[in-house]
Amino acid sequence: MTAATVHAGCVVLGTAGVLLRGRSGSGKSALAEALVRAAAVAGNFSAHVADDRVMLSAGAGRLVARPAAPIAGLLEVRGRGIVAVPHEPAALVRLVVDLVPHDQLPRLPEPADLLADVAGIRVPRQMVPERSTARAVDLVRWALRDILSAREAPI
């Protein structure tokens, strides 16, 4: 089993862990909050797992995300500060979301663009535009429908 700590965020929507990657200020925390809220509004389980630092463990073909202990249950809300949020201790990562500059978001992604290799585990991937939370939620919704089926998608 391999383990690493990465600069990212993670939420769990239904049973799907969603790893959020992007540079500082790209909107990872805002997207995490919007995804948790969207799943809750749809009547599905959702929770934060980690913000800013995520501990990833890879083994048996699976990728598991956990919060870094010192900041477990904390979320940075730009304009407000660090706030306490309910959180889950772990999630099985089913989707990697990369927040990218608008001009780097392909209009028609190649099949290779839709997969990420994280710690030797291949995981479905969705690129979303930085700081465009509503559009990002829509793209994550479509990705989860492809991965889980429309009936099982939590948002």
pTM to 2 decimal places: 0.94
pLDDT digits (tens), the chain, 155 positions: 677 999 999 999 999 999 999 999 999 999 999 999 999 999 999 999 999 999 999 999 999 999 998 899 999 888 899 999 999 999 999 999 999 999 999 999 999 999 999 999 999 999 999 999 999 999 999 999 999 987 788 99
pLDDT at 1: 63
Q: What are the extents of the domains in the chain?
A: 2-148
Alpha helices in the chain (DSSP H): 28-41, 133-148
Please provide residue 95's backbone torsions phi and psi, each rounded to the nearest 5 degrees. -150, 135
Half-sphere exposure of residue 151, counting CA atoms within 13 Å on the CB side? 0
**Which CATH fold would you assign to the domain 2-148?**
Rossmann fold (3.40.50)
Find the helix packing angle between 133-148 and 28-41, rounded to 10°. Answer: 60
